[in-house]
Structure 1
């Protein structure tokens, strides 16, 4: 457990490393008091501001901050939620301001390079931050895939706070009704596509189809290409080649996009307009047998009666189907970063550090269903029964993602590249162009962007 005293002890150890003359100069300085200076006091609390995606900002403010303040009562935390489509632009604007408002930025997976290149983020392994890091924080305990999301050019600019992976959810009852065997991590894309027509069914015998095989991202939006990319990655395809040039407009890439488009044939009516919200609603209402979606929605889709009609025993979760090379997954990590211009770096790091510590991670997993990034957490028995099947599936997904480099483009211009992919994948989904033409157009545009 990370406590202010741990940080003070860390600083004390570092102070002991200075020369005898320097120690003499310190005289009667209270090192413990010095270490906690940036953590506030009851008389003079420190205030930090956090910018986060509005999808989970309220949960952070109401649940995570409240728990954090049990350990750090003198740090006042205000979390501001921003819609996802506006978040990166607002982060860039604030971080490059001479007097930024925010001390902590909760950054999406592909954004670290862009923010780091403009000097917006602090190096969390610098000597300054190392002095504020508890001895039992254990950097090596993080799984490689989520930790690497906030690394750029050898510098660690963040730590995983909301570790997400694109996964396969399935409704056991609908599989049983259709007489189709439940999916396993060995299920291939070819097998899944053979089974899909059987999962489009009339479940109440009135002669009308009322359940479909799949729902996921089909609409034109930045996350829709992650479905195609995951299929491509599982077959050995890559977004970029070794020289950083587009490589996705290959035979493997085209076949993967054809598969993504074919899923529409087995999706509910109007699925071309479906993305995150619509696919979740369809699955939670029990009208689709499978959903390819971010794993962190498991709790709200299988456990919470306020948001789902399903129960944990009805819902399975695992990696996405297997291609010619491996199973599929896609990394989507939200990392906690400290603004390089923050005047309250120690308090900001105390907040981010506690949330990503072993204790903080376990608390958030059980209280909110936030997925852990630490190997020790995933290897442990979770406090909540509903997490028991989730932990091994998530660990497998991390391993698959790391091995196959299953993530979005890593470049300061990654957001622009993702928007291009969204445009062209969206055109292909809508039938306005072929898969090959869409990917060729995207490759040409992205090559110019990445120059």
Structure 2
């Protein structure tokens, strides 16, 4: 029996018995058909990052409709900087437009505290297939959409901050290719050798590293990953700043010292600039979100490199562990949705064992399930990526390597972006930047 059939029968039975769930969801269960028909479809709308909304609308929805032909899905793409604000504004209105919200890693607590999300393990239980297998998810990506013991979402586009390396540039420099045992100490000692003249004309044309350096909300994740790998944390158990210490200062100084091996003008680089430099074969290593691997090592439309040239693994080892940083896009259902069963059907299918394998093999999207990562992917380039992800998820879970988990996390991240960028650009020293960040964050968190 297919997932669609099982869910559909359960939902229809629930409707016929007049079963109710909490909040505004219960009223919709009186419908005769929660999943529509090809002739009389139900419509659900999703708000998502424009970076992948179009791909989902064109490819994912087509595949989903093979299983649920009665559900019409409309996906609106919004630029990342505007997505949280627009999601919150719509979700808290009296008649929200969107049934599904696609939320970045730190946003679920804020949405949950606003009271706009469905409890998927409780309120959606009667629509959930018995074989869905919540326990198959790796703990770290699933936890991104949990808040105060409630599961408000599921991981749909799992991601980690990882280390990319150009094997050709490492070999040309005579430096051993990185392994998961590479330490930050060894990496920094190798950096100068990776700055090189590759064609013998006397001019430097390849550098050691590129990553986030300028003022960007994601720039602090580099510093934080180094901090976490040395056993440090951003906040303590009371949400008080815990980074203004020797570990925090050393981690930020390491981030700044990477500029010694970065291209000219590297202090103004972030996502786009570092990605372009690496794809053009100009830098030996890049600390970047793993989800760009396909466009960096596989797709000739976007890169000059090939899969034979690009390696990927966890970031270097500190005193405690290797590093990574969680960046999960989760799907959640608005609890005012008029079609919550249909909305959950989409999220459930996409995050199911079957859907995740399709998503990964067809679109190259990173999975969250242990069973998927243990499988052999159809596309060979995913094999080393799967290995890096599984190792990274374990590191992230053990070291709590993620952005602040709090409804005020966005404000905290803005402060970190401001102060770390001031230190990286030389406007203030490391000690001053962290002291300022500590004071501002403690005020935000009420400490």
TM-score, normalised via structure 1 length = 0.94
- Note if 1:118 corresponds to 2:114: yes
Q: 4+ residue stretches of structure 1 with deviation over 2 A?
A: 1-4, 8-16, 33-36
Select between 239-248 and 3-12 the one with higher mean Cα deviation: 3-12
Q: Specify the alignment match of 1:169 in structure 2.
A: 164
Change (3 A) 1:301 1:2: farther
Change (3 A) 1:268 1:36: farther
Contact 1:200–1:212, Cα closer than 8 Å, also in 2 = yes
Root mean square deviation of aligned Cα? 1.8
1:5-404 alignment runs, 5 A limit: 5-11=5-11, 37-126=33-122, 128-404=123-399
Within 2, Cα distance between the matches of 1:11 and 1:397?
37
Contact 2:8–2:35, Cα closer than 8 Å, also in 1 = no
C-alpha displacement of 1:78: 1.0
What stretches of structure 2 of length at least 5 have no aligned partner? 20-28
Change (3 A) 1:49 1:2: farther
Q: Specify the alignment match of 1:3 in structure 2.
A: 3
Within 1, Cα distance between the matches of 2:350 and 2:271?
26
Contact 1:2–1:357, Cα closer than 8 Å, also in 2 = no
TM-score, normalised via structure 2 length = 0.95
Within 1, Cα distance between the matches of 2:56 and 2:295?
16
Which string of whole-angstrom CA distances, capped at 9 and with x for unpartnered residues, describes residues 54-96 of structure 1?
1111111111111111111111111111111111110110000
Within 2, Cα distance between the matches of 1:312 and 1:229?
29
Within 2, Cα distance between the matches of 1:14 and 1:42?
22
Within 1, Cα distance between the matches of 2:393 and 2:224?
16
Report the secondary structure of 2:46's partner residue.
Answer: strand
Within 2, Cα distance between the matches of 1:123 and 1:49?
19
Contact 1:417–1:446, Cα closer than 8 Å, also in 2 = yes
C-alpha displacement of 1:226: 0.2
C-alpha displacement of 1:11: 4.4
Q: How many residues align?
A: 437
What stretches of structure 1 of length at least 5 have no aligned partner? 24-32
